[in-house]
């Protein structure tokens, strides 16, 4: 037992839905969702800036709500739905938020971007017409050192307008 390093002891097993796909994964039991996503499942789109719950870079959606994946044990995710940046686009097309972020300068270095995108998605899913203040508040746990946030707010608003229009056309 002692000769096998702890990380190599993939004694935990769980099944959860990742970006719409149900899967089984084995991992060392102490690992966080962030670590399992990046290291065991090869989903490196989710980033980390502190692994202490301070920066928001590792945000993912757990059952539709933003969580800091560095503070969630992978074992807690059994039977639940996880959405990461890799799951935002569908049918080969970017999500409206992704298009808006790319077009409007909301992603500079792009490191905080995945966490902000999923957090913004959760906001728009829960509140399709957020005010600027509501956007500010929703993103206040996601640090960005590049943009000064303003182009991020504008991109969320542009995506909001676009999804509203699409919704109306759909009706």
Q: Which residues of this chain interact with other proteins, rule CB under 8 A?
A: 2-8, 38-39, 42, 44-52, 54-55, 57, 84-86, 88-89, 94, 97-99, 101-105, 107-114, 117, 135-137, 139-153
Angle CA 47–103–43, to nearest 5 = 25
Select 15 or 132, whichever has its Cβ closest to other proteins: 132
Q: Is 35 helix (H, G, I), strand (E, B) or coil?
A: helix
In the complex, minimum distance from the CB of residue 75 to other proteins, in angstroms, rounded to a whole number: 17
Select 109 or 126, whichever has its Cβ closest to other proteins: 109
CA separation (Å) from 150 to 48, 110, 114, 115? 22, 15, 17, 16
In the complex, minimum distance from the CB of residue 66 to other proteins, in angstroms, rounded to a whole number: 14
Candidates 61, 23, 21; CA nearest to 45 is 61
Select 15 or 94, whichever has its Cβ closest to other proteins: 94
Structural contact between residues 132 and 157, judged by C-beta atoms closer than 8 angstroms: yes
In the complex, minimum distance from the CB of residue 121 to other proteins, in angstroms, rounded to a whole number: 12
Strand ranges in 28-138 using DSSP code E only, listed in sequence order: 59-62, 65-68, 81-83
Select 80 or 136, whichever has its Cβ closest to other proteins: 136
CA separation (Å) from 103 to 91, 130, 152, 160? 20, 20, 11, 14
In the complex, minimum distance from the CB of residue 171 to other proteins, in angstroms, rounded to a whole number: 28
């Amino acid at each position: 037992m002692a000769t096998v390093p702890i990380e190599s002891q993939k004694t935990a097993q769980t099944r959860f839905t990742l970006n719409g796909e149900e899967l089984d994964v084995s991992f060392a039991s102490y690992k966080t969702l962030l670590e399992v996503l990046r290291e065991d499942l090869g989903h490196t789109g989710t980033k980390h800036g502190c692994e202490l719950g301070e920066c928001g870079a590792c945000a993912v959606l757990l059952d539709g709500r933003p969580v800091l994946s560095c503070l969630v044990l992978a074992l807690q995710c059994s039977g639940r739905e996880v959405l990461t940046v890799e799951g935002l686009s569908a049918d080969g097309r970017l999500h409206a938020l992704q298009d808006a972020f790319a077009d409007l300068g909301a992603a500079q270095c792009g490191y905080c971007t995945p966490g902000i995108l999923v957090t913004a998605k959760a906001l728009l899913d829960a509140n399709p017409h957020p005010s600027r203040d509501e956007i500010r508040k929703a993103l206040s746990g996601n640090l960005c050192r590049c943009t000064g946030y303003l182009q991020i707010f504008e991109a969320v608003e542009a995506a909001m307008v676009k999804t509203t229009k699409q919704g109306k056309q759909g009706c």
